[in-house]
């Protein structure tokens, strides 16, 4: 699908919206990319333990070669075309390395990724992580079709992403994943911006069902608490909002 974007930088920043007209898209109405304000200071967290073992900081150049096998599913530029595979472009080195370590030790279960992670050493994991971190995530489009109550489909998700729901104890997603969805490399909060909605929705459903990855001290249950009370409709809307979320200034500069 070819996209023509109309994204005045100043207007996009001040309105927080960036319109993208998809040529030949099947949805009714103009699909929307949802852009955001600049990222805030990182939140402080305790460091998790795995994938840091003997490996030194990743080397993106070495990682490029080691990532050749990944392109078939995750895309040559880290932006997978097939939405069943998550985008890795722009994801942080340590988050990627940690996920690969968990696939390898089986604490994050996926039969396909088990095979690919098993052949990687801790250093390989950091190198491929460093490589994908250098690539740019391409934003998708949020579904702005009008719902029964007259709001746009992505707006329920936008509200939760930006403000959470105090009464239900749901924190704003941006507190950890950043206003523009870039995540927080230091704390290993993954980047979400532009991710395929289907993948995001599947992960949120799994978190809601109590699935957390990692063993013992390395088990990170934060998303299980965050997602506990999300409805299916909220998950779909959040996933759509996140697919269209991007840094307005970065896209305007491309
Ligand atoms: C045959 C297709 C395929 C190939 C090749 C492949 N992956 Fe994956 N990858 C997947 C699928 C499917 C998932 C989602 C699994 C899940 O839901 O946990 C995934 C998930 C991931 C994730 C987790 C992403 C996230 O946001 O949490 C990482 C990291 C990853 N792959 C890295 C790699 C690397 C590095 C390689 C190459 C060494 C690779 N993959 C090769 C199919 C593939
Ligand atoms: C307190 C910090 C925090 C908050 C708030 C938070 N998250 Fe997360 N999120 C995380 C962490 C940490 C992970 C990675 C978990 C892991 O690796 O085990 C994560 C993972 C995810 C993933 C999986 C990403 C991937 O690539 O597989 C999605 C999707 C996600 N969060 C969406 C959300 C949404 C939507 C909200 C708001 C409703 C939210 N998060 C609020 C910390 C947070």
Residue 70 CB less than 6 A away from ligand 1: yes
Residue of minimum CA distance from atom 31 in ligand 1: 113
Tell how far the Cα of 248 is from the centroid of ligand 2, in angstroms.
Answer: 22
Of ligand 1's atoms, which has the minimum distance to the CA of residue 125?
Answer: 35
171 CB-side CA count, 13 A: 11
Q: Which ligand places an atom closest to the C-alpha of 88?
A: 1
Q: Supply the pTM of this predicted model.
A: 0.85
Q: What is the pLDDT of residues 18-75, one digit of tens each?
A: 333 333 333 444 567 776 666 655 444 444 455 445 568 889 999 999 999 999 999 9
b/e per residue 42-77 (b: at least 16 CB within 10 A): eeeeeebebbeeebeebbbebbbebbeebeebbbee
Nearest partner of 11 among 41, 33, 29, 31, judged by Cα: 33
Among all ligands shown, which has an atom nearest to the Cα of 48?
Answer: 2
What confidence tens digit (pLDDT) does each residue in 165-224 have? 999 999 999 999 999 999 988 888 999 999 999 999 999 999 999 999 988 878 889 999
> Which atom of ligand 1 is nearest to 199's Cα?
17
Rg (CA), the chain: 18
Give the domains, in start order, of the chain with CATH numbers: 60-134 (1.10.760.10)
Residue nearest (by alpha carbon) to ligand 2 atom 40: 173
What's the rounded Cα separation, in Å, for the pair 186 and 68? 26
Which ligand ends up closest to the CA of 103? 1
H/E segment holding residue 156: helix 155-163
C-alpha of residue 3 to centroid of ligand 2, in Å: 28
Say how many Å lie between the CA of residue 204 and the centre of ligand 2.
Answer: 8
- pLDDT recorded at residue 193: 95
């Amino acid at each position: 699908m070819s996209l023509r974007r109309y994204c005045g930088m100043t207007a996009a920043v001040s309105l927080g919206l960036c319109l993208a007209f998809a040529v030949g898209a099947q949805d009714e109405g103009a699909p929307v990319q949802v852009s955001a304000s600049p990222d805030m200071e990182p939140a402080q967290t305790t460091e998790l333990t795995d994938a840091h073992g003997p490996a030194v900081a990743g080397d993106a150049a070495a990682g490029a070669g080691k990532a050749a096998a990944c392109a078939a599913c995750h895309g040559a530029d880290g932006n997978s075309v097939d939405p069943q595979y998550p985008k890795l472009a722009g994801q942080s080195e340590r988050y990627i390395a940690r996920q690969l370590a968990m696939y390898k030790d089986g604490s994050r279960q996926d039969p396909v990724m088990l095979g690919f992670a098993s052949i990687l050493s801790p250093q390989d994991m950091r190198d491929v992580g460093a490589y994908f971190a250098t690539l740019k995530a391409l934003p998708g489009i949020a579904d702005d079709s009008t719902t029964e109550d007259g709001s746009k489909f992505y707006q329920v998700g936008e509200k939760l992403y930006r403000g959470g729901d105090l009464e239900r104890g749901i924190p704003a997603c941006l507190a950890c994943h950043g206003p523009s969805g870039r995540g927080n490399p230091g704390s290993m909060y993954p980047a979400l911006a532009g991710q395929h909605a289907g993948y995001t929705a599947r992960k949120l459903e799994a978190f809601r069902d109590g699935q957390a990855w990692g063993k013992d001290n390395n088990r990170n249950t934060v998303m299980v608490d965050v997602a506990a009370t999300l409805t299916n409709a909220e998950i779909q809307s959040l996933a759509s909002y996140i697919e269209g979320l991007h840094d307005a200034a970065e896209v305007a500069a491309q």
